[in-house]
Amino acid sequence: MTVFDYCNPVNLMFGPGQFSRLGECVRPGEGRALLVTGRSAARRLGYLDHAVAMLRDQGVDAVVYDQVPQNPTDEVVDAGGTIARDEGCDLVVGLGGGSAMDAAKGIAVAATHAFPVREFLVADEGGNKRMPTDKTLPIICVTTTAGTASELTPFAVITTKSAKQKSAISSPLIYARVGICDPQLTYNVPPEVTATTGVDVLCHAIEGYISTAAGPLTDLAAEEAIRLVGAYLPTAVADGGNQEARYHMSLGNLLAGMPLSNCGANLMHGLEHPVSAHYPDVAHGAGLAALLIAYAETCWEAAPKKFARVSALLGGPEDGSQAAAVLEELLDKVSLNIKLSATRGFSKRLPMTRLATWAARLRRPLAVRTAAVSWTSSGRATRARASRPAPGSPRRP
């Protein structure tokens, strides 16, 4: 018998057509919103204009901030915070993939606190970092990818440019008030982005599944998310207009967001974040894909039953030792069976020891604990059975 906590306060709107309900998400008295998005896709595809019109119909004036790049930085977030403050915005709407939504969450904090967002991301000499207060602006997230599940999580992952450190604000105060996940918005996502974001879904599910914080509820969600990625990601990559595949990948994204929110991520994300912090051109999911096989090969023996399920859910034998091979087969199907040296932005092979060095530079120990491995601030991975986190303790994305 397992004792567990589960909390997720996001009002979720899921399914084809739900984007058209954005206007319902604002409340009386909210007259101005900062609409945060990337530099081109949302505008090109008409989502931005539609969002502005829906907000206007509710009497909400939308101020557009469309400067969010892949792997958003603290500078971008602070600039957005200044705009939100100067324009007197009452709420922040994130429209896009994980980068836009995470930037929106960071802006909701930056706009309402008299400190640079860096101080909420990077610990000081004493190992402490600032936490958001209830002054944080309300947040609405509309996802246009099936990937980060940021519309469902209490995390905002942001790169601190000066420290080349990708870390997260992790607080219940940055849960979206409403999260909209409309698969129709993913129909135009190009194959490469579909593949990398889909691998992100898979990694959230697997990392949450083998976490020591996992419980029956998150296991159910993680297993179904893994199954859906195996069944539908190759089709979504090959045929972006396949509505059934897009629907199920969006659903998998949400289901994987449940273990991610509650259990956090662990070793793969702990190692990938330094990669895309140092090389912002590397898509998060590409970095994860480059680590995934080594991760499965390293961890399966400490959680053999769960890795056996991962293998079986992806169509392989119920055998944990085969999980890496089955995962490799899936990556082959979506053209992401890559090494770090092959990810965009790398000019030479990047050894795991370099990753360990970067990870060790983080002021706070990574604490990327799984049933299999603890990765310490000394950069050494040791096999250990980590203790279960205390209920309510913050997780790492």
Residues that bind Fe ion (CB under 5 A): 200
223 Ramachandran zone, left/alpha/beta (phi>0; psi -120 to 50): alpha
C-alpha distances (whole Å) from 183 to each of 141, 248, 328 are: 14, 8, 27
Judged by beta carbon, residue 260 or residue 372, the one nearer Fe ion is 260
Judged by beta carbon, residue 78 or residue 200, the one nearer Fe ion is 200
Least distance in angstroms from the C-beta of 289 to Fe ion: 11
Judged by beta carbon, residue 62 or residue 203, the one nearer Fe ion is 203
Judged by beta carbon, residue 84 or residue 214, the one nearer Fe ion is 214
Judged by beta carbon, residue 90 or residue 272, the one nearer Fe ion is 272
Cα 201 from Cα 145, distance rounded (Å): 10
Least distance in angstroms from the C-beta of 159 to Fe ion: 14
Least distance in angstroms from the C-beta of 201 to Fe ion: 8
Least distance in angstroms from the C-beta of 286 to Fe ion: 12
Q: Which two tokens stand for residue 276?
A: 């895309």
Burial of 29 (0-12, 13-18, 19+ CB in 10 A): exposed
Least distance in angstroms from the C-beta of 272 to Fe ion: 8
Burial of 163 (0-12, 13-18, 19+ CB in 10 A): middle
- Using the 8-state DSSP alphabet, how is residue 73 labeled? B
In the bound state, the residue with its beta carbon closest to Fe ion is 200
Least distance in angstroms from the C-beta of 89 to Fe ion: 28
C-alpha distances (whole Å) from 199 to each of 50, 254, 264 are: 29, 14, 16
Beta carbons within 8 Å of 202's beta carbon, 6+ residues apart = 225, 226, 229, 233, 256, 292, 330
Judged by beta carbon, residue 89 or residue 283, the one nearer Fe ion is 283
